[in-house]
């Protein structure tokens, strides 16, 4: 079973990009639940394309915001990037092209509203970007993404993003990834009472996402949340990120 050609043409029109062949697009739209239900047909699903698309997305977004805001600090650019690649933003982009309507999903996912699930839409959007990259190259993928994120970039509230609530942003990001809410713990207090520095860890379950410090517990929590956001978009390391 495949997505009908008429539906593919409609999606391509919504995306503003036409594939040279249908194989990559069909794969990008195929969820693993569908492939598992039709295992005997050896149908390829979109997880590897999602992996590729995530990398392409991170590179292109970083390049775009650096070009647009060259004088911003690394921390500010990281915050802008985290917003643009967050689950909330990617779901918005997926919904703008009605991506959920075109997915091939298993019967169980269909019954539980899979076409509207945040994680499924995010994964499919990244898979689409990966497929476009393979089909047309990096410049073509960049053109597609530029069209998709134009409204998000133009409506950015830089002050709110760069000085906003990193704890809320981290919670939103983890929610979109299907992970539990983060927990914050003061693990050390350094210095005299009138100049005390608080050291805070942020974790999910037993995993420490980041550790940072501040002159108040709130400041330390926000700093740790910011580092955790950066870490979620970077390759994993054996030790938690730490800031002094």
Residue with tokens 């410049």: 139
Please, are residues 29 and 124 in contact by the beta-carbon 8 Å criterion?
Answer: yes
Dihedral sign (CA 78, 79, 80, 86): positive
Catalytic site residue from 37, 50, 109, 126: 126
- Rounded CA gap, 148 and 80, in Å? 16
Catalytic site residue from 37, 54, 172, 201: 54
β-bridge mates for residue 30, sequence order: 104
CA 5 to each of CA 2, 8, 21, 102, 126: distance values in angstroms, whole numbers, following the listed order: 9, 5, 11, 11, 21
Active site residue 151: no
Active site residue 126: yes
Q: Hey, which residues are catalytic here?
A: 54, 126
């Amino acid at each position: 079973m495949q997505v009908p050609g008429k539906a593919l043409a409609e999606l391509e029109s919504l995306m503003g990009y036409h594939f040279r062949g249908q194989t990559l697009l069909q794969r990008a739209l195929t969820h693993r639940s569908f492939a598992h239900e039709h295992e005997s047909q050896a149908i390829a699903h979109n997880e590897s394309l999602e992996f590729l698309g995530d990398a392409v997305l991170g590179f292109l977004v970083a390049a775009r915001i650096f070009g647009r805001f060259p004088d911003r600090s690394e921390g500010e650019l990281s915050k802008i990037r985290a917003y643009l690649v967050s689950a909330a933003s990617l779901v918005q982009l997926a919904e703008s092209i009605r991506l959920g309507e075109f997915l091939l999903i298993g019967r169980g996912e269909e019954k539980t509203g899979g076409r509207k699930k945040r994680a499924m839409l995010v994964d499919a959007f990244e898979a689409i970007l990966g497929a476009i990259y393979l089909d047309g190259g990096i410049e073509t993928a960049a053109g597609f993404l530029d069209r998709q994120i134009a409204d998000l970039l133009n409506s950015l509230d830089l002050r709110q993003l760069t000085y906003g609530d990193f704890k809320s942003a981290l919670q939103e990001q983890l929610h979109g990834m299907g992970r539990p809410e983060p927990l914050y713990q003061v693990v050390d207090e350094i210095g005299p009472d009138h100049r005390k520095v608080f050291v805070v860890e942020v974790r999910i379950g037993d995993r420490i996402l980041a550790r940072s410090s501040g002159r108040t517990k709130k400041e330390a929590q926000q700093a740790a949340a910011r580092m955790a956001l950066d870490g979620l978009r970077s390759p994993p390391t054996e030790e938690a990120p730490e800031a002094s």
